Amino acid sequence: MGEAFSPEEIIELAKRYNCEGIAFTYNEPLVWLEFARDIGELAHREGLFNVVVTNGYGTAEAVDLISTFADCVTVGLKANASQSFLKEHSGIPNTEPLFTSLQRLKRHDIHLEISDLVIPQGGDSLEEAGSLCRWIKSELGPDTPIHFIVFIPSHKMSTAQWTSQSVLEAHCEIAMKSGLRYVYVANFPGHERENTYCPNCNGMVIARFGYDIGSWNLDSENRCKACGYMIPIVGDLTLTPPEERYVPVVFPPMDLGIVCEGLTAFQQNKSDDASTG
Ligand SMILES: [Zn+2]
């Protein structure tokens, strides 16, 4: 059973735990948007940022309301926003509102990111992934980050398969070929596509493992230290606090070698940084 909190209590909790911002996520915030707005406005007054994670299936009025308090919006698409897949599994008659919402958020000049849950057996078409990425590049711009998420079988799709590494990487390949500059994987700690790479010289500019940032190779204006290319980062980069807040869960189908190597490299990076100050 859940617990009831007022907006004031949520802000108090965020401050008590030294949070820099609040993310409205997991439950769809479009369902409780006025409550999110009340929290978000208070958060801004206290110097906290707001991140809204939504499926994007909202009216123009709802999208406009998000824009009054969100600093960043992630629109979580599923199955490359495949019309046939979403009609069958999400019960929405057509996917047009998703794209309209994305265009509208872009016009509001909010930092916008896309995630795409890659679902095996029907929601992993590379052709549709290519169309989606080309649309994102032309309508939202090549700097729009995209995150391809590993599907974890659960609930009514418990017997479905996990997204394979090869299919996930093929999606990344298509996104990069489409001209998107910041392409990531999610739910795969240790994968090299958790890091940010400079689109100009291809050097790693932000090292990550799971939810943690380990180090970066950027100057104070977010330019790549190797070549000077400006990386359009919004907000401050912050190292993960020394005490471990999260231990990413490693899922059975993942290549454990990649996960372990990623973790070792990440920890090595962090201790190098600590020793050099
Ligand atoms: Zn560079």
String of DSSP letters for 59-112: -HHHHHHHHTT-SEEEEEEEGGG-HHHHHHHT--S-SHHHHHHHHHHHHTT-EE
> Tokens representing 186?
């999610």
pLDDT of 191 > 70? The answer is yes
Q: What percent of the chain has pLDDT over 70?
A: 92
pLDDT on residue 239: 73
Q: Find out whether 191 and 265 touch, Cβ atoms under 8 Å.
A: no
pLDDT: is 78 or 262 the higher one?
Answer: 78
How far does residue 206's CA lie from ligand 1's centre (Å)? 11
* Range 1-187 has CATH code 3.20.20.70: yes
Condensed to tens digits (0 to 9), the pLDDT of residues 223-268 reads 999 999 999 998 878 776 655 555 556 666 677 788 888 888 877 7
Task: Look at residue 55 in the predicted model and tell me its pLDDT.
Answer: 96
pLDDT top residue among 268 and 186: 186
pLDDT in the model for residue 241: 62
pLDDT for position 44: 98
- CA 32 to ligand 1 center in whole angstroms: 42
Predicted pLDDT at 98: 96
How far is the centre of ligand 1, averaged over its atoms, from the C-alpha of 264 (Å)?
24
Instruction: Give the phi and the psi of residue 75 in degrees, each rounded to 5.
Output: -100, 120
Ligand 1 geometric centre to CA of 216 (Å): 12
Q: Where are the domains of the chain?
A: 1-187, 190-277
Lowest mean pLDDT segment, chosen from 192-201, 207-216, 223-232, 261-270: 261-270
Ligand 1 centroid – CA 83 distance (Å): 38
Per-residue pLDDT band for 277 (boundaries 50, 70, 90) equals very low
> Could you give the dihedral angle defined by the CA atoms of residues 180, 111, 24 and 167, in that order, rounded to the nearest 10 degrees?
0
Cα(223) to ligand 1 centroid in Å equals 8
The token pair that represents 1 in the structure block: 């059973």
Identify the DSSP state of 235: S
* Distance of alpha carbon 159 from the chain centroid: 26
Distance 238 CA to ligand 1 centre (A): 20
Residues 205, 207, 212, 218, CA torsion sign: negative
pTM, to two decimals: 0.89
Q: Out of 156-160, 181-185, 250-254, which region has the weakest mean confidence (pLDDT)?
A: 250-254
Res 84 pLDDT > 70: yes
What is the 198 CA–ligand 1 centroid distance (Å)? 5
d(Cα 207, Cα 267) in Å, to the nearest integer? 10
Of 111, 164, 100, nearest to 141 (Cα)? 111
The overall average pLDDT reported for the chain is 91
The band of 214, judged by pLDDT with boundaries at 50, 70 and 90, is confident
Residue 4 has pLDDT above 60, yes or no: yes
